[in-house]
């Protein structure tokens, strides 16, 4: 696995959005690139939609 994320992406990412398939695909894509989940997801309701957030980290070399 590369030492750093591809395409100049940051080592830490916080993905947020409406809780739908598109959000799940974004998280899945980050995982397939090599990111790892960091902590539990967060969720809130904005009066219309459930909004979710998931932190991701690029793994450090051991």
In this predicted structure, the answer to whether residue 4 has a pLDDT above a threshold of 80 is yes
Beta-bridge mates of residue 16:
53
pTM over 0.75: yes
Query: Which of 56, 54, 49, 55 lies closest to 18, judged by CA?
Result: 49
In a domain, 48, yes or no: yes
How confident is residue 42, by pLDDT bands cut at 50, 70 and 90?
very high
Residue 62: what pLDDT? 61
The residues facing 18 across adjacent strands are 51
Mean pLDDT of 2-19: 95
Residue 41 within any structural domain of the chain: yes
Mean pLDDT computed over 20-29: 98
Say how many domains are in the chain.
Answer: 1
Mean pLDDT of 14-21: 98
- Find the domain containing 49 and state its range: 11-57
pLDDT (mean) for 25-40: 98
């Amino acid at each position: 696995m590369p030492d750093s994320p591809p395409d100049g992406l940051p080592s830490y990412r916080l993905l947020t959005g409406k809780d739908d398939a598109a959000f799940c695909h974004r998280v899945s894509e980050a995982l397939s690139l090599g990111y790892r989940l960091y902590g539990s997801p967060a969720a809130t309701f904005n009066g219309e939609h459930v909004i979710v957030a998931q932190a991701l980290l690029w793994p450090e070399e051991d």
